[in-house]
Amino acid sequence: MKFVSKTIATFFGVGYFPLAPGTLTSLIVVLLYRFFLWKVSWPLYLVLFLTLFFVGIVASTHYSSRLNEKDPRKIVIDEACGQLLVLVLVPRGWFPLFLGFFLFRFFDIVKVYPVKKAENLSKGWGIMADDIIAAFYSGLILHAYLFLK
């Protein structure tokens, strides 16, 4: 279980990247979406997102407990899950994808209310929840832009 939780929580080791591992994880998800995930039907995409979310809660709970840290920088499954949420039903063009990427990174880093407050939830819930709220804000803005353009 230790290896599995570590592998999932660090998004297959991306969390060990020395510079901005969360940003790198988000970028990898954008690229995965651009080349593969955009083809997935929305019900299957939703199942993928929900699976990643709940598995991420369990894995980040185990791994953060093992490291004895509340939200270690190495845990980036939350960024992967959040970026997936931002990209739901987004066209695969570079501009909308990078706009979604930049919006998500902005809200995840700045932590406008209640993103910061969500970090206070216990264990993996707090690790995952702040990114989901940041993704929700980002997705709303991105989809509003795509609708209005």
Please give the chain's pLDDT, 149 residues, in tens.
789 999 999 999 999 999 999 999 999 999 999 999 999 999 999 999 999 999 999 999 999 999 888 888 999 999 999 999 999 999 999 999 999 999 999 999 998 888 878 888 888 999 999 999 999 999 999 999 999 98
| Domain membership flag for residue 55 | yes
Q: Which of 13, 4, 15 is nearest to 72 (CA)?
A: 15
How far is the C-alpha of 136 from the C-alpha of 118, rounded, in Å?
13
| Domain membership flag for residue 28 | yes
Phi, psi dihedral angles at 45 (to 5 degrees)? -60, -40
Tally the domains of the chain: 1
At position 85, the amino acid (one-letter code) is: L
| Domain membership flag for residue 66 | yes
pLDDT at 83: 98
pLDDT at 21: 97
Type and span of the H or E element at 109: helix 94-110
| Domain membership flag for residue 13 | no
pLDDT at 117: 82
| Domain membership flag for residue 14 | no
| Domain membership flag for residue 33 | yes
Q: Could you tell me the residue range of the domain that residue 67 belongs to?
A: 2-8+20-148
- DSSP assignment, residue 41? -
- Are the C-beta atoms of residues 92 and 39 closer than 8 Å to each other? no
Q: Please, what is the angle between helix 123-148 and helix 77-86, to 10°?
A: 30
Q: Could you tell me which residues come within 8 angstroms of residue 133 by beta carbon, excluding any fewer than 6 positions away? A: 107, 114, 115, 118
